[in-house]
Structure 1
């Protein structure tokens, strides 16, 4: 007996009966009518589920697009508030916290400087220790400069030939 390919997946394992309780023999005209109606019901249910799924996914995409646009507008508004562009906004946010810390450190340093300055220390007179450090640094630099370099650097008769 030939059974169409579209019915092969939906053939029930249990015997089929009519509403009155009569047995429907496979391959009969009544059996094919029953299978045709069953196929229509299943395919329409599948189609309606697919339609519902597509509609739902379309609504989700619209919602995601709307949310994305709202986020972009919020970022643009925040960038405009800080007076910067959207691309540099993240750096500006990170620097905001660091600026507060830097400002506090600078204030503490300036306060300690003012306390030291007002304590009567004369900044024009340098201490012997600082003078010794400066001399040592200058001596180190002298050692790095060779005689040839000094001679090249000091050429009083050199004239500018580019003119």
Structure 2
């Protein structure tokens, strides 16, 4: 986890300092092959766009470092992952389709995570504005009596 965050932070740093780096590279009198390569690289619009996207997601994604803590409540894990997913959707759009597909159905614990949210007061109110709606059948089986979402 830490290495990925370090790479993202490095990309964000280079986005924030790209103009100063480009100025230095273009003003240098060094004629080495690497300097010629850097001059070409700094002028590419693709690089600027990619660094911009990295910068836009860096702060949000770097927050996943919190997942390295012990005794982190499961609801906090899910909320953090959902926040990161929303962020990547906003920034990358269609490019984040694989991550969306993984989180929507292929993740081994996805049904568990979806159901656990019903018990998180911070999220439960988002599930239903209809007070007669019940828990999913997989959770209803653990209740002796029918439980409306409004009660949770």
TM-score (norm 2): 0.23
TM-score (norm 1): 0.22
| Larger Rg over CA atoms | 1
Higher helix share: 2
Which structure carries more relative contact order (alpha carbon 8 Å, separation 6+)?
2
